Amino acid sequence: MQARRDPTSRLALAALVVVTSANALVLRKSRQEVGPTGAYSVWQAICLAEILKIALSVGGMLLTSSRPPALSVSVSPPPLQSSRQPVPLIRVHSDPATRFQNWLPESLAAHAAAVFNRSDFIALTIPTFLYMVQNALNFISISHIPAVLFQTVNQTKILTTAVFTILLLKRGPTRRQWFALFVLTAGVVVTEYRSDDRNSGGRSTAWVTGLLAAVAATVLSGFNGVYIERFLKSSSTTLNTRNVQLSMYSAVMTLVVGVILVDGQKSPPPRLFENFNEWTWLVVVLQAASGLVISVVLKYANTILKNFAASVAIVFSSILSYFTIGFTYTPHFVLGTMMIFLATYLYTQRPNHPAPGKMPVLPTTRLQNPVLKTVPALSHNSP
Confidence category of residue 342, pLDDT binned at 50, 70, 90 = very high
Show me where the domains of the chain are located: 7-32+103-348
347's CB contacts (< 8 A; 6+ apart) are: 173, 176, 177, 180, 181, 184, 304, 308
Q: Which of 11-25, 89-103, 190-204, 303-317 bottoms out in mean pLDDT, i.e. has the lowest?
A: 89-103
Nearest to 50 by CA among 291, 229, 258: 291
Q: Which of 14-28, 73-87, 142-156, 174-188 bottoms out in mean pLDDT, i.e. has the lowest?
A: 73-87
Residue 316's Cα: distance from chain center in Å? Answer: 19
Distance CA 19, CA 15 (A): 6
Phi, psi of 38 (to 5 degrees): 110, -165
Run of H or E including 90: strand 89-93
Q: What percent of the chain has pLDDT over 90?
A: 30
More confident: 48 or 233: 48
Residue 230's Cα: distance from chain center in Å? Answer: 12
Contact indicator for 295, 243 with CB cutoff of 8 Å: yes
- For the entire predicted model, the pTM comes to 0.75
Distance CA 188, CA 40 (A): 30
Q: What are the DSSP calls for 204-264, one per residue?
A: -HHHHHHHHHHHHHHHHHHHHHHHHHHHHHSS---HHHHHHHHHHHHHHHIIIIIIIIIGG
Distance CA 215, CA 154 (A): 7
Angle at 166 between CA 160 and CA 167, to 5 degrees: 90
Contact indicator for 84, 61 with CB cutoff of 8 Å: no
Query: Which amino acid is it at 212?
Result: L
More confident: 319 or 95: 319
Note the pLDDT of residue 276.
92
Note the pLDDT of residue 206.
81
Q: Residue 69: is it exposed, middle or buried by C-beta count within 10 angstroms (0-12/13-18/19+)?
A: exposed
Summarize pLDDT for 138-185 with one digit per residue, the tens.
878 877 887 767 877 888 899 999 999 999 998 888 999 999 999 999
Q: Which of 7-21, 64-78, 142-156, 159-173 bottoms out in mean pLDDT, i.e. has the lowest?
A: 64-78
Q: Which of 75-79, 202-206, 271-275, 379-383 bottoms out in mean pLDDT, i.e. has the lowest?
A: 379-383
Distance CA 303, CA 184 (A): 14
More confident: 21 or 196: 21
